[in-house]
Amino acid sequence: MPLIEVTELRKTYGKRVAVDGVSFTVERGEIFGILGTNGAGKTTTVECLQGLRTPDSGTISVLGLDPAKDAARLHQRVGVQLQDARLPEKLRVAEALELFAAFYPHPADVGSLLRRLRLEEHRTTAFGKLSGGLRQRLSIALALVGNPEIAILDELTTGLDPHSRRETWQLVTGVRDSGVTVVLVTHFMDEAERLCDRVAVFDAGRIIATGTPAELRATTGQSTLDDAFVTLTGRS
Ligand SMILES: Nc1ncnc2c1ncn2[C@@H]1O[C@H](COP(=O)(O)OP(=O)(O)OP(=O)(O)O)[C@@H](O)[C@H]1O
């Protein structure tokens, strides 16, 4: 049984149709990529998965629960890394993790999380003094602090230098290898190609292709996912 099952999801903001009949499944243990250009409906879709937005129609099952009805229970089991998350400037890395750990019934051990995310030597650094790469690592750690079964990572490497991006990719693979199912929202095709087991390509509120990166390359006759994406969407 899929961990996440979305059927005919539709969400509008006034007259604007953000998500227009989207269906996909995410299986346990995979890294599932939600790809698409700006405004394609990616964030709205993952916000519906988290119960932050209520769909106009369609059904969503996450870990067998309906996010619109069971958001509080799902928050205990789904970790979320938010786009541009900000913390108080003076809050230190370990303090932030301990603070968030207190919200969960079975939190991860903060010490081992710091080691896993290679944040140990920064444990007493204030949030305001962290580089972009370290902030991202902290935001992944915060997504994992509740020991979730699913981690939703949104625009994970936007604004990072190439070295930090690669380091972050390794961490995401490590998260999956530790048994957490990952939903990765991205508009970077190299990132999706490197990390994702399967992807859904969003375009103007619809899914125009789903499959492994290799399948998408094969069906479009392209040698990279980037070129496959351009072929599918008609845009780069
Ligand atoms: N709160 C809102 N009110 C009105 N329109 C919105 C709102 N949030 C998103 N939209 C619109 O819905 C559409 C889908 O937006 P969404 O943020 O889901 O796309 P996205 O694929 O995540 O884009 P991005 O990569 O830029 O974050 C866009 O046209 C956007 O302008």
Residue 101 Cα distances to 88, 92, 172, 191, 215, angstroms:
17, 14, 20, 29, 40
Residue owning the nearest CA to atom 12 of ligand 1: 18
ipTM attached to this prediction: 0.95
Residue owning the nearest CA to atom 5 of ligand 1: 13
- Number of domains forming the structure of the chain: 1
3-state secondary structure of 21: strand
User: How far, in Å, is the centroid of ligand 1 from the Cα of 150?
Assistant: 23
Per-residue model confidence as pLDDT tens digits over 66-79: 999 999 999 989 99
- Residues having CB closer than 6 A to ligand 1 are 13, 16, 18, 36, 38-44, 187
Residue owning the nearest CA to atom 30 of ligand 1: 39
CATH number, domain at 161? Answer: 3.40.50.300
Measure the N-to-C terminal CA separation of the chain; round to a whole number of Å: 35
Residues near 117 by beta carbon (within 8 Å), at least 6 away in sequence: 137, 138, 140, 141, 144, 171
Residue owning the nearest CA to atom 4 of ligand 1: 13
Q: Which domain does 191 fall in, by range?
A: 4-233
Per-residue model confidence as pLDDT tens digits over 72-127: 999 989 999 876 678 899 999 999 999 999 989 889 999 999 998 889 999 999 99
